[in-house]
Amino acid sequence: MANIKNVTELDFDQIKVNLKAYLSGQDKFADYDFDGSGMAVLLDILAYNTQYNALLAHANANEAFLDTAQMRANVVSHAKSLGYVPASAKSSEAKIDVTVVGIAGGPISATMPRGTVFSGLIGSKQFTFVTNESYTTSKNILNRYVFENVSVFEGEIETFTYRVNGQIPNQKFKIPTDKVDTSTLVVAVRDSVTSQVSEVYTFFNNILDVTSDSRVYFLQEGYGGEYEVYFGDGIIGRKPTTGQVVDIAYIKTNGAEANGASSFTTDATIAGLSGATAALSTGFIKTFSGADREDIDSIRFNAPKAFQSQNRAVTSIDYDAILKLEYDYIEDIAVWGGEVNDPPTYGKVFISIKPKTGDYLSNTTKSIINRFLSTKNVGSITTEIVNPDFTYITMNVFFKYDPNNTSRSKSQLEIAVKDAIINYNDVNLEKFDGVLRFSKLLKAIDNADKGILNSTVRLKMHKHVAPITGETRDYAIKFSSPIYQTSTTEQTITSSTFTYAGQGCELTDIASNTYPNRIVQIRNATTKAIINPAAGTITPTTGMVDLNQIKIDSVATLLIFVDPNSNDIAPKFNQLVSIEKDETPGVVVTGEEDTIATLGSVGASSYTTFSRHE
């Protein structure tokens, strides 16, 4: 008797074949034509039913685990068991200064209430920003009220009121939108609908600080994707009683869409006065920190790490998990202990953060993060946030191609190669563990089109240096990787042109008496005459270029180029590697027809190879 094979089969046709094989082995159906009779219809039904059940069983098994679940509700449920609350959307934020012209005999102080509305522009699109607290200031000698460093958040304030029903066990109070910024939540409890007095509850953060009478609220994402507020049970956190009223206020936001607003206006009346003007506060260029709701891939990645950190900062993974959970605008983060820093600084943890918008955090944002971490650090450990340090890569790319094996022209192939390089940068670089692996870069180039036969790349590292013009000072420039080591007359450093001693100059170098170190010189960019024979030193092994006591008279940004000692370029600590794809000199791509591929041995006589150096 035949048995049904592979009871976990998912393919419809194979299921049907298995059923036929089983029935053919039965004495009653030995002579049946299963394809040409009514039995075929029954087999189709059985196969469909079996396939549906198999798919359902597989789906149920997948949804039972955090790593394989695909439905957001199930991913969130698994994360909840680890004590993880998915990050909500985050309002784009800015600090602005608001000026209101007073009137003679007016009050000596004025108050800007919570909910004051401002308009921020990104291009031609207008976004609404609001204050989430009130501000008070005094009138100055110019008869003006100036509110400085006012925090405004993109979105609109919404408020919902619920009544506590003690008959409902574990009552939840739903926030009816998935665009809520939970960091702006204000939860208050009143004794009755008519009561004007309310108690503000704070977000539950640490069970060690909570008693049976603590005014705290808890937060979770519900099955439908909306967040839910709930309270303690009288043992962990105070439990509101039947008839009390819960007021929930929050900002409903558009998330990352509002990042980048740089001009603000308002039609609001402040202290009875209209005509207020608003401008970004000192140190702020545009709105920042807006983020969309955390997606399921991020939840799947962050939940175990947050559980592992247990809300304390001890290891580098703890800092990574805590900060990414608290601040949605972090794209990447690097953490290292002071004992491995250069130079060592014991008792300190260094953190470098690359935000999703822009390259650096503002000083104000750094202070906010440091204050937050002061509640998580262990013992006397302190934190210092340092800016990411970019090393840019410029490259000349050469490739040979067979025109008989591609439909693209030479210029189209060059564009395809540049696009492949940009994609390699976006996928692999501009992150703290982003190593430029030369062989994989070449593979990406060769795979840009089937007509490309081989490729060669000449790399240079470079830095953007903003000199203090007209001031004699030192400059220390550190590259991500060691610099090319040689004792010959080969030039390992170049630069863009800058004004020095009244002349247009550039950098060059010569060998020193201490190999592999080299001496940096300044020479006339046109005549190549040496103007300063000892302007600094190069220490190739550490990637350091030191310019000593030089005065640059004029240049917007000085570009300093060096040859890397290896074509594999790896960042350390706060360093990031990025291919300079937009600005000059950037990426220069040159294609050349392969004469051997097109002409065979006849073409060998005119075949040329690409040189390794310029």
- Per-residue pLDDT of 68-100, as tens digits, reads 888 888 899 888 888 888 989 999 988 999 999
Q: What is the DSSP string of 571-592?
A: --TTEEEEE--SSSSSEEEEEE
Cα separation, 414 vs 270, in Å, equals: 59
Q: Across the beta sheet with 518-524, what order do the strands follow?
A: 472-478, 544-551, 530-539, 518-524, 503-511, 498-500
* Buried b or exposed e, range 79-95, using 16+ CB within 10 angstroms: beeeebbbbbbbbbbbb
Burial of residue 552 (CB within 10 Å: 0-12, 13-18, 19+) is buried
In this structure, is the dihedral angle defined by the CA atoms of residues 404, 406, 408 and 409, taken in order, positive or negative? negative
The mean pLDDT of 541-557, rounded to a whole number, is 90
Burial class (CB in 10 A: 0-12, 13-18, 19+), 67: exposed
Contact in structure between 587 and 417 (CB atoms under 8 Å): no
pLDDT at residue 608, rounded to an integer: 82
Distance of alpha carbon 202 from alpha carbon 180, whole angstroms: 17
Question: CA-CA-CA-CA torsion for 235, 241, 244, 248, nearest 10 degrees?
Answer: 30
At residue 391, the pLDDT reads: 93
**Per-residue pLDDT, 5:** 56
Decide which of 168 and 364 is more confident. 168
Phi, psi (deg, nearest 5) at residue 391: -110, 120
Q: pTM of the full predicted structure? A: 0.60
Residue 205 near residue 218, CB atoms below 8 Å: no
Mean pLDDT over residues 437-449, rounded? Answer: 94
**Packing angle between helix 72-81 and helix 296-309, nearest 10 degrees?**
0
Q: Residue 567: which pLDDT band, with cuts at 50, 70 and 90?
A: very high
The answer to whether 129 touches 120, Cβ cutoff 8 Å, is yes
Check pLDDT > 70 for residue 37: no
Dig out the tokens for 345 from the structure.
């600084």
Give strand pairing partners of 312: none
Tokens 């360093």, located at residue: 575
- Distance from chain centroid for Cα 520: 37
Lowest mean per-residue pLDDT among 12-26, 69-83, 140-154? 12-26
How many other C-beta atoms can be found within 10 angstroms of the C-beta atom of residue 185? 20
pLDDT in tens, 242-289: 999 999 999 999 998 998 888 999 999 998 888 899 999 887 778 878
| Model pLDDT, residue 1 | 44
Q: Could you read off the pLDDT of 462-486 as tens digits, one per residue?
A: 999 988 888 899 999 999 999 999 8
Using only C-alpha atoms, the chain has a radius of gyration, in whole angstroms, of 33
